[in-house]
Amino acid sequence: GENVEQHPSTLSVQEGDSAVIKCTYSDSASNYFPWYKQELGKGPQLIIDIRSNVGEKKDQRIAVTLNKTAKHFSLHITETQPEDSAVYFCAATDYSSASKIIFGSGTRLSIRP
């Protein structure tokens, strides 16, 4: 089955700097890669996703890149702000089959003022 590894587990950056979180996956059949943000005391919420036929996707200050050959994908947050402080999860799954969404272990991002 699918296995998703996520690094780093914690990340602290200065406000205004960029943050990068990296994930690798094991199942070559995976073709959908969402990223979720979890704020304290809440459930995770989707912030951006990418499908296997796309190498990069951007939404304002957030971007995701995918390298299918190497089986890794990354989340990039530019011009970080205090409200970006949260736990971020990557996930991987096969769009067409088992319907299981497998998550990474999470990254706790802290933005220093």
Q: Which residues would be at the binding site for other proteins (CB under 8 A)?
A: 1, 6, 9, 32, 34, 36, 41-46, 49, 51, 89, 93-106
Alpha carbons 70 and 20: distance in angstroms, whole number: 17
In the bound state with other proteins, the residue whose beta carbon lies nearer, of 13 and 29, is: 29
In the bound state with other proteins, the residue whose beta carbon lies nearer, of 36 and 77, is: 36
- Least gap, CB of 113 to other proteins (angstroms): 26
**Cα separation values, 112 from 20, 22, 75, 84, 98, Å:** 15, 21, 19, 11, 41
Which residue do the tokens 């912030």 mark? 47
Name the phi and psi angles at 76, rounded to 5.
-120, 125
In the bound state with other proteins, the residue whose beta carbon lies nearer, of 32 and 76, is: 32
- Least gap, CB of 94 to other proteins (angstroms): 6
- Least gap, CB of 110 to other proteins (angstroms): 16
User: Hey, what amino acid is at 70?
Assistant: A
